[in-house]
Amino acid sequence: MIQGHAAGRRAPAAMGKGFALACALLALASCATTPPPRAIDASADGSRITLAPGQTLRVTVEANPATGYRWVVDKGAVAVLQPVGQPLYTPSSTSAPLVGGGGTMTFEFVAAAAGSDTLQMAYRMLTPGSSGAVRSLHVEVVVQ
């Protein structure tokens, strides 16, 4: 009776190891099917970008918050993209950031659904009554 009880305990432990191995292999396989992030900058203006479902799109544009101008997403291609977190500002000088020295803003999106839509971004003054954008970025995003 003790042997049957001990053997019964070993079977679930062995099954647990097999289950963990199967989960790890499944996770590894799912990572292998997602393409690496796609990175674009202002030179992509007017282009068409094709992404796979789940693929990340990183948009990096020159910016200088000290001027009062900011990049904003006017139309986020919400039919196919989901924003990830907040935009990240990186100063040009990493050793000693200079006040008013400028840098880049990086926006991150993930391809969430199949289809196509337009991503529209603008670099503009955010104060009331300010004029239009001084720079813009329009990209057709296709997820397939």
CA 96, distance to chain mean position in Å, is 28
Whether residue 39 sits in one domain with residue 27: no
Q: Reply yes or no on whether the pLDDT at 135 is more than 90.
A: yes
Whether residue 51 sits in one domain with residue 29: no
For residues 114-138, one letter each, b for 16 or more C-beta atoms within 10 angstroms of the residue's C-beta and e for the rest, the string is eeebebbbbbbeeeeeeeebeeebe
Report the chain's terminal Cα–Cα distance, integer Å: 59
72-83 per-position pLDDT tens digit: 999 999 999 999
Whether residue 39 sits in one domain with residue 29: no
Higher pLDDT, 133 or 59: 59
CA dihedral 57, 62, 64, 68 (to 10 degrees): -70
Question: What global pTM score does this model have?
Answer: 0.73
Whether residue 122 sits in one domain with residue 84: yes
d(Cα 100, Cα 71) in Å, to the nearest integer? 16
Whether residue 62 sits in one domain with residue 11: no
Whether residue 65 sits in one domain with residue 136: yes
Q: Lowest-confidence range among 11-20, 26-35, 47-56, 63-72?
A: 11-20
Whether residue 51 sits in one domain with residue 1: no
Total tally of structural domains belonging to the chain: 2
Range of the domain at 28: 1-33
Whether residue 28 sits in one domain with residue 94: no
Whether residue 90 sits in one domain with residue 40: yes
